[in-house]
A and B are shown apart, each in its own frame.
Chain A
Amino acid sequence: MSRTIDIKKHANQQALTSKLIKMLFNTLMSPLYGRLIMLIVLAGLWQGTAWLVNSSDFPSLLIVLDSFIYHFYQGDMVSNLSVTLSRVLISFIIALILGVIIGILMGTSKRLNQLTDTLLIIALNIPALVTILLCYIWFGLVESAAITAVVINKIPTVVVMIREGARVVDQDLLSVAKIYKLSLSKTFFKVFLPQLYPYIMASARAGLSLIWKIVLVVELLGRSDGVGFALNTLFQFFDIAGILAYTFAFISIVLVIEHLIFRPLDKLVTRGCHFDRT
């Protein structure tokens, strides 16, 4: 009798243990914990490698963290970040608006597309550095030249993406607008533009990451503030920890933008498109 109770108790314990392991595994495999674990593993690898290399050229994570705290509280990191961020946002908005307009025009007008296609290919292949240098030479080392250089670099990539979207707009849905005599603005904003939202979101995401890299080059070459300028100064002192601290600071900001702006916006513009038939 007591042996049967022992076996039952043991089986219950085993079931409980396997249930706990399964729960732990599921928790660890959830997207949030998964990402956290990846970051921790990466940080551990870095710290370990830095400890093994033991060189000032490969600072440990703790030294970079120290440098971050120093630049954040005692240096110009906050002002430099805000200056760069404002340049990124201004360039991003201008490039996106112009790129979307040109892309729609090229995607919907065969004739305009034929006329400007070669121009677009040329614009896509002009090196960013050339545009930046020319803008500084032609307009001087001023803010407007910096913004213009970034915008000129970004517009062609937005145009290419939006043009492809505008080419494959569903004509069947547009015929609905025609049949029911929808106004031009209603047709554009309720029928045409929503079909381009995925393309606009994709070019916005790709645009932000490209723009902030170009902005740094622009700042490095011709501005006296911003992250690019700070990186140039740190480079002259071979302050690798400072360079990495600035890099992480800006990446963190981009991640915050992605989570606070892009993802909710993505959900909003793709509403109605993620349901399975019930």
Chain B
Amino acid sequence: MIELDIAIKDKFYPNSDSMVLKDVAFKVKPGEFIAIIGPSGCGKTTLLNMLSGLEDASEQKLLCNSKSFNKDNEYQLGYVFQQPRLMPWLTVKENLQLVLPTTQPQLIDTLLTQVGLAGKGSYFPRQLSGGMQRRVAIARAFAVNPDLILLDEPFNSLDAPTASKLRLLLVELCKTRGSTVIFVTHDLSEAVYLADRILFMSHSPSAIIHQEVIDLPKPRQESGSAELAWQAKLMAQYPQILAGDVN
């Protein structure tokens, strides 16, 4: 498990003067499940890309276990993108094997069973539904036994029952693996169901404008009365928070 200390002074869009992130700073405790909520286009994906090393800023301080992030970082990362990003020419098993340094058929079978895709290992991604492809992407992220998992609206555009099943799956996998998780979403109820703490971002150029620890006991219920009451209380206090405004 790892802890993170993030401080990004500014981040501009590539080849542009337009600033996307400004003075974004937060810390993540080991094994903590953080949800990040913000309006569309506020730079949530950019932030995750910076944490994963896919993008960087001119001035940033990204510390992982008090050590600076670098390309040869020792910690293992899992990233579930908005789109599954599976290799279409590889079967489900081969897609999982791809990210593993050694051949581990047993681990792959176990993961496929956990995500409810036992028997689908020889299928190609195009033979699977959108929900199944996302399950493979989640299995791939957990296959590497990650210290940190980044999830970028992974259940976006899925029908409600499928998204609900996948959330449950994510909760179970996080419980068994104990990874530190940063989960980007625009759905407050999803964040309340999954996270230990929620960070709220403002409009672009974005900063963390508010954070809220969710003190509800786990396991939680989707649309449970306690969860709904928690949301209602927050929305009564900050009616414009989802639009990136706390005033």
Contacts and interface: CB of A to CB of B under 8 A. Distances in A.
Interface of A: 172-173, 175-176, 178-180, 182, 186, 190-191, 194, 197, 269-278
Contact of A272 (B79, B98, B125, B129): B125
Contact of A182 (B77, B85, B91, B98): B98
B83 A190 contact: no
A278 B126 CA distance: 8
Nearest to A190: B98
Contact of B99 (A182, A269, A275): A182
Contacts, number: 62
Given A175-B54, A179-B77, A186-B98, A273 B89 contact: yes
A190 B90 contact: yes
Chain B interface size, as a band, is 20 to 34
B127 A275 contact: yes
A211 to B, nearest CB: 28
A276 B123 CA distance: 12
B124 A180 contact: no
A13 B140 CA distance: 62
A108 B128 CA distance: 32
Given A179-B77, A180-B144, A273 B54 contact: no
B54 A277 contact: no
B204 interface: no
Interface in B17-38: none
B183 interface: no
Contacts of A270: 89
Contact of B89 (A172, A179, A194, A276): A194
Given A179-B52, A179-B77, A277 B87 contact: no
Contacts of B99: 176, 180, 182
Contact of A172 (B53, B78, B81): B81
Given A186-B98, A272-B91, A173 B85 contact: yes
B85 A276 contact: no
Contacts of B224: none
Interface string B41-82: 000000000001110000000000000000000000111010
Contacts of A269: 89
Pick the most buried of B77, B98, B128: most chain A CB atoms within 10 A of its CB: B98
B87 A190 contact: yes
A176 B85 contact: yes
B88 interface: yes
A278 B133 CA distance: 12
Contacts of A186: 98
A165 B91 CA distance: 23
A180 B88 CA distance: 17
Nearest to A176: B85
Interface string B133-146: 00000001000100
Nearest to B82: A172
A175 to B, nearest CB: 5
A273 B85 contact: no
A277 B85 contact: no
A179 B90 contact: no
A180 B98 CA distance: 9
Nearest to A186: B98
Which 9 residue pairs spanning A and B have beta carbons closest together?
A: A272-B124, A180-B99, A275-B126, A272-B89, A194-B89, A179-B79, A275-B127, A272-B88, A176-B85
B94 to A, nearest CB: 8
B166 to A, nearest CB: 18
Interface in B79-112: 79, 81, 83, 85, 87-91, 98-99
Contacts of A197: 89
19 contacts: A172-B81, A173-B87, A175-B85, A176-B79, A176-B87, A180-B77, A180-B144, A182-B98, A186-B98, A190-B90, A190-B98, A191-B98, A272-B89, A272-B124, A274-B126, A275-B124, A275-B126, A276-B126, A278-B129
